[in-house]
Amino acid sequence: GAVVSQHPSWVICKSGTSVKIECRSLDFQATTMFWYRQFPKQSLMLMATSNEGSKATYEQGVEKDKFLINHASLTLSTLTVTSAHPEDSSFYICSARAPRDSTASPLHFGNGTRLTVT
C-alpha cells in the first residue's frame, strides 16, 4: 500500500533556530500533500496544502513566512519552521493522496514529527 515517510520523528531545537521536516511518499507520486499540526490531547488542525510545483495554500491563521512549505518533487514535501519559539512545540503530521486516488479517498499519513523548542 501507499507509504508516507516523515523525518525526523522527533527534534529538539533552541528558540530562534529553524527546523526542517521532510515528508516523502515512498511508493507513489503525490501531487498534493497536507500538513497538519496536533497539540497534546487535541485533534489535527490542517495547516496547509502543498502542491507539487506551485505555492502552498495555507489555512487561515497559519503564517506562511513562519511555516515554509516546499514541494519540489512528486515524492517530497518539506515544512520548515523558521525562527522557532516554544509555542511552536507540537506534533506535525504530513499526509498524501496518490494521484490515482479520487479526492474522496483516504489519506496516507506519515508517523509525525514531535518538535520541542527550548
Partner 1 sequence: SQQGEEDPQALSIQEGENATMNCSYKTSINNLQWYRQNSGRGLVHLILIRSNEREKHSGRLRVTLDTSKKSSSLLITASRAADTASYFCATTLFQAGTALIFGKGTTLSVSS
Q: Which stretch, 14-22, 55-63, 70-78, 79-87, contacts partner 1 (CB under 8 A)?
A: 55-63
Gap between the Cα atoms of 80 and 107, Å rounded: 22
Of 19, 21, 93, 115, the residue at the interface with partner 1 (CB under 8 A) is 93
By C-alpha distance, which of 97, 107, 56, 108 is closest to 79?
A: 56
Q: Are 11 and 115 in contact (CB under 8 A)?
A: yes
Of the candidate residues 14, 53, 54, 60, the single one contacting partner 1 (CB under 8 A)? 60
Q: Does 117 bind partner 1 (CB under 8 A)?
A: no
Of 103, 68, 99, 102, nearest to 83 by C-alpha is 68
* Options 28, 30, 34, 56; binder of partner 1; rule CB under 8 A: 34
**What is the nearest approach in angstroms of partner 1 to the Cβ of residue 84?**
20
Q: Specify whether the CB–CB gap between 54 and 72 falls below 8 A.
A: no
Segment holding 36, helix H or strand E: strand 32-38
- Residue 106 interacts with partner 1 (CB under 8 A)? yes
Task: By CB under 8 A, name the binding residues for partner 1.
Answer: 4, 6, 32, 34, 36, 41-46, 49, 57, 59-60, 91, 93, 95, 97, 103-112, 114
